């Protein structure tokens, strides 16, 4: 079977006029978001949901012409206030991945970085056709957790979303983009049908349904760079610095994992 064309999966976080320092770099202004969605429309791209993409690639069914995914992580309030009206204007599909312990309401753990959605707003987003996926409960680095806490983060998130929305989330996104074979297997065993990483590359079917890559959109992403992301053009140059930093941090994180296993073995 011929591998289908790669698909750009855009990763957003906050959409805010005046974000705090913790979320500023990975936020976009409402004006920038509106301009970016207008560019998606002008270029004739067709936004699809995460579950739709994964199901099409599993079955071999064709996707709409020039597909693109619009995704949001964490659950910041601006997704409802600023992004939803723009998505509705264009009739665009999107996916929101929520960290259930960060949202305002009965499960709030107090760890959120900025103003978050409440569950009424999440239900309104779902009612407007936004796919709601899981993003863990407290947004930890999942590959640093032991098996029990890993399962707890995944199951609790799934159960809360199911209870609040009346439907089981099919898609998951790894907090910080970090995963491992063990984490991906746990996500699959929890019942999620597909999961998104980061990677800052186009998504391809051969990546597998539990490691689909995304492209980071941030406050510094200008119109020309955004168009390159949509076209899949010169992505390596766009994210060259990010990849260098990621490689360096990966070495540090592996060292922490080894140290953690040594300490656990001695105790």
What is residue 2's predicted lDDT score, i.e. its pLDDT? 74
Cβ neighbours for 204, distance < 8 A, ≥ 6 positions apart: 3, 6, 7, 213
pLDDT at 111 over 90: yes
Alpha helices of the chain — where are they, by DSSP H?
Answer: 30-42, 50-59, 78, 84-90, 119-127, 147-165, 181-190, 223-231, 235-238, 240-266
d(CA 6, CA 232): 9
Task: Give 250's pLDDT tier (boundaries 50, 70, 90).
Answer: very low
Q: Where are the domains of the chain?
A: 9-233, 236-267
Task: Give 248's pLDDT tier (boundaries 50, 70, 90).
Answer: very low
Cβ neighbours for 123, distance < 8 A, ≥ 6 positions apart: 164, 165
| Rg of the chain over all Cα atoms, to the nearest angstrom | 18
pLDDT at 86 over 60: yes
Calculate what percentage of the chain has a pLDDT beyond 70: 88
Task: Return the minimum-mean-pLDDT range out of 4-8, 197-201, 216-220, 237-241.
Answer: 237-241
Q: What is the 3-state secondary structure (H, E, C) of 25-92?
A: CCCECHHHHHHHHHHHHHCCCEECCHHHHHHHHHHCCCCCCCEEEEEEEECECHHHHHHHHHHHHHCC
As a whole number, mean pLDDT of residues 241-259 equals 45
- pTM score, whole prediction: 0.90
What is residue 251's predicted lDDT score, i.e. its pLDDT? 41
Homologous superfamily assigned to 9-233: Glycoside hydrolase/deacetylase (3.20.20.370)
**161-201 residue pLDDT tens:** 999 999 999 999 999 999 999 999 999 999 999 999 999 99
Q: Which residue has the higher pLDDT, 232 or 219?
A: 219
pLDDT at 40 over 80: yes
pLDDT at 11 over 80: yes
CB burial of 6-18 (b: ≥16 within 10 Å; e: otherwise) equals ebbbbbbbbbbee
pLDDT at 246 over 80: no
Judge residue 37's burial from the number of C-beta atoms within 10 Å of its C-beta, 0-12 exposed, 13-18 middle, 19 or more buried: buried
Q: Which residue has the higher pLDDT, 253 or 234?
A: 234
What is residue 236's predicted lDDT score, i.e. its pLDDT? 78
First to last CA, the chain: 51
């Amino acid at each position: 079977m011929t591998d289908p064309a790669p698909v750009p999966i855009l990763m957003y976080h906050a959409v805010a006029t005046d974000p705090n320092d913790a979320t500023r770099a990975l936020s976009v202004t409402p004006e920038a978001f509106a301009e970016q969605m207008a560019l998606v429309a002008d270029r004739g791209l067709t936004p699809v949901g995460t579950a739709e993409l994964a199901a099409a690639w599993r079955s071999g069914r064709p996707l709409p012409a020039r597909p693109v995914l619009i995704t949001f992580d964490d659950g910041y309030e601006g997704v409802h206030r600023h992004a939803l009206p723009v998505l509705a204007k264009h009739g665009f599909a999107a996916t929101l991945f929520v960290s259930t312990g960060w949202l305002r309401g009965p499960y709030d753990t107090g760890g959120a970085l900025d103003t978050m959605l409440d569950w009424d707003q999440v239900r309104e987003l779902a009612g407007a056709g936004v796919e709601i996926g899981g993003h863990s409960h407290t947004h930890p680095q999942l590959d640093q957790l032991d098996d029990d806490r890993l399962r707890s983060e995944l199951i609790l998130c799934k159960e809360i979303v199911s209870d609040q929305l009346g439907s089981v989330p099919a898609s998951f996104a790894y907090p910080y983009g970090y995963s491992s074979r063990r984490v991906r297997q746990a996500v699959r065993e929890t019942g999620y049908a597909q999961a998104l990483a980061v990677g800052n590359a186009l998504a391809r079917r051969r990546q597998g349904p539990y490691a689909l890559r995304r492209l980071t959109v941030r406050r510094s992403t200008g119109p020309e760079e955004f168009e390159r992301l949509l076209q899949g053009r010169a992505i390596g140059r766009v994210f060259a610095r990010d990849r260098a930093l990621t490689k360096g941090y990966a070495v540090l994180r592996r060292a922490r994992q080894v140290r953690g296993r040594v300490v656990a073995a001695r105790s």
